[in-house]
Structure formats: structure tokens, C-alpha cells
Amino acid sequence: MQPVWAGHPWVFAQAIERIVGDPKPGDEVDVIDARQNFLGRGLFSPKSAIRVRLFTRDDERFDRDLLVQRLRAAEDKRVLLGIRSDEPGRVTDSYRSLYGEGDDLPGLIVDRLGSALSVQFTTVGMALRRELVLDALEEVYAPSAIVDRTAVKAAQAEGFQAQGGVARGQLSGFEVRERGLYFALPLELGQKTGFYFDQRPLRDVVERLSRGREVLDAYSFVGAGGLSAARGGASRVLSVDSSEVAVRVGREAARANELNVEFLEEDAEQVLEQSSDRFDLVLVDPPKFAHGRAQKEKAARAFRRLIGLAVRAARRGGLVCVSSCSQAIDASDLTRALALGARDQGRRAQVIERVFQGADHPVPAAFPEGLYLSSIIAVLS
């Protein structure tokens, strides 16, 4: 129980000596140590290796008042940090409004996309309180609509049925403004809750580094990175993604923002492998290679190979930026893969900048699992 005592919000099955009573999935349970000290209260997940996720260290119940208070605190934090902005030319009305454990509501993720919300329920306890959560969201945000984007696999692992689609209101798509860029996102887009808000800090860096450079944005999704590069003054931007819908949305966004970005609907790895073009800045942000520690070695090898292809596509003196969205492959693992991938191409890489997930994805100091996104930018010789 040492991690829990220090502030970690998870109680693993192997840390539990005994269970008093017969708690049902999603029930509130108290966690106490061997000396009968109260450590916190959480929601019970009998099918998960994480048996309890704590929502409080005090003697309080999970009810609508608690939900509303936590939601408002999370939103106030994002306003205070300047994530939401009305600055002319840099308007941002879309971001992660609530990040599970980072905002003291494990099992719930809420994204604000313009006037609407997108939610994910990731634990059985939170899913069983779905209507209570939706009511609280309507009270705090007064959204035009709420869309449920709960992942089927996550629901199955927790033992509940995912309910997708528009949960409240009416909606055919989202309208997103981020740092002054506009995106119209149809519901069919699908990934995550609809937009990769965690990469906002990296897009700022890409915009700053792109002036006069030819940029390749591999695994571009809807092209937010490529559009940032174009707005930063890139001489050429090529964005590559295998999703027909994402490429279509990206092209429409480029037109709407009056930016010159070329989109290619192809497998990004194949383009890196087969293209004879060379670029001054190569962005590589692949899907998650490792879903847990057991897959770490395989993921590290995949990163090494992919980084090698990215290095080969970059000119000498150019830049490569690689991202990992898995907590299993952290910044040090990514740096090693970068060094080896560059060496495989007879090149050297010098790290000049590291970027992590944005401030709308806060991480409790005692909860390193919350820090899952790492990006490294290096200059190549």
C-alpha cells in the first residue's frame, strides 16, 4: 500500500490482503492499511487488475455534487492556465476538459469540442453512473450535445457494455478551433474522443521550427501538425495518413484555413520506405506500438526501424520529430531508439527539444502512469 499512501490512485489486486463484505462491480469501497488507517475511497472493478481507483482521500460519497465540483474545478484550471483562449488569431475553444486521475475522477475522460462534449467511460464504476455523469456535464457545460466515445475493448476489459453515439442533444459533427486553426470533424472520424489535444504543445513547436523548411507529417490524422507547419511558413508540407476520412477532413481544413498542404492517403510507413523525396523536418507520430510493459521490447524494435526510415527521409542538417503515445515507451526509451535508428542509417542525432502532453492532461506527481506521451526533436548530421 506504499504507493497509495504516497498518493497513487490505483489499488492493484495483488496489494489487497482481504475484502470485507461482497462488493459488486462499481460499488464504493473504502481502502484501509494494516493498521486500519483510512487511505481513501474508490470504485470497485473486480475484473480489472486495478481493483480500486480512488476518487477521494476524505470521507465523502460519489454523488452529483462531487461530480459537479470536480468538473468545475477542472474547467477553472484550464481557464486559469490559458488553455481556453479568445486571443484574436489564436482562438482555442477545444481541449481535454477532464483527464481522469489527473482531475480526480478516475474512469472518466471529457473533451470539449467547440460547443459540444465527447466523453469516454473507462471503468465499470463510472459507466454504471453514466446518466449521473451526463446530467452533471449538462449542468456544468450546457453543451449543445454530448457524444459517447467509450472504447469497446476498454469496456470489455472492465466488464460493461460500451454505449456509443450521441448521448444527449443532436449532432452530426464537431467544430474545433485550436490555436486559431479551424477543423470540422464528422462523427465518423472515430479516433479517441475526436481530436489529439495532447499534442498541442508539439504543434506549437512544429510551427516555430517550420519556416522555410520542407515538412513531412507522417501519420498525420486530420493534419493538425501539417497545418501548423504551413502556418509557420514551411515551403512545402506533405501530410500522410491511411484513413480516407482523416485525409478528407485534413484537406477541407487546409482549404478552410487557407493553407497550402498536400495530403496523401497512403500507409505512412510505406511512404517513408519507398519515397525518394527528402525533407528538412520529418514528423513521425505512429499509433501505439505497446499496450503494456510485456510488449516493450517489440515496440522498441518497431520504433528503431520506423525512426531509421524517418532519418533516411530527412536531409543532413534536417530535423526529425518522433512521438510515443505509450507509457511503456517513455522518453528515455524513445531517445535510445532514436540513437539506434539514426546509427542504422549511418547518421547521428542530437536531441534539441523534448515535448510532453499538454497542460490539459495534468499528471499527479505520485501517478507516473498518467504521463504517456513523449516527443523528441533532433537535428541530424
SS3 178: strand
Burial 361-379 (b: 16+ CB within 10 A, else e): bbbbeebeebbbbbbbbbb
HEC profile of 216-271: EEECCCCCHHHHHHHHCCCCEEEEEECCHHHHHHHHHHHHHCCCCCEEEECCHHHH
Examine the residue annotation and report whether 325 is marked as an active-site residue of this protein. Answer: yes
Report yes or no: 195 and 183 within 8 Å, Cβ to Cβ.
yes
Give dist(CA 130, CA 148) in Å, integer.
10
Residue-by-residue DSSP string for 75-107 = HHHHHHTT-SB--TT--B-EEEEEEGGGGT-TT
Give dist(CA 145, CA 338) in Å, integer.
43
Q: How many CB atoms lie within 10 A of CB 251?
A: 17
**Catalytic hit among 52, 319, 325, 334:** 325
Q: Which three cell numbers stand for residue 377?
A: 526533436
Q: How many CB atoms lie within 10 A of CB 129?
A: 22
Give dist(CA 161, CA 151) in Å, integer.
10
Give dist(CA 195, CA 118) in Å, integer.
10
Report yes or no: 213 and 234 within 8 Å, Cβ to Cβ.
yes
Strands 314-324 and 374-380: antiparallel
SS3 119: strand
Report yes or no: 166 and 147 within 8 Å, Cβ to Cβ.
yes
Q: How many CB atoms lie within 10 A of CB 287?
A: 10
Which residues belong to the active site?
325
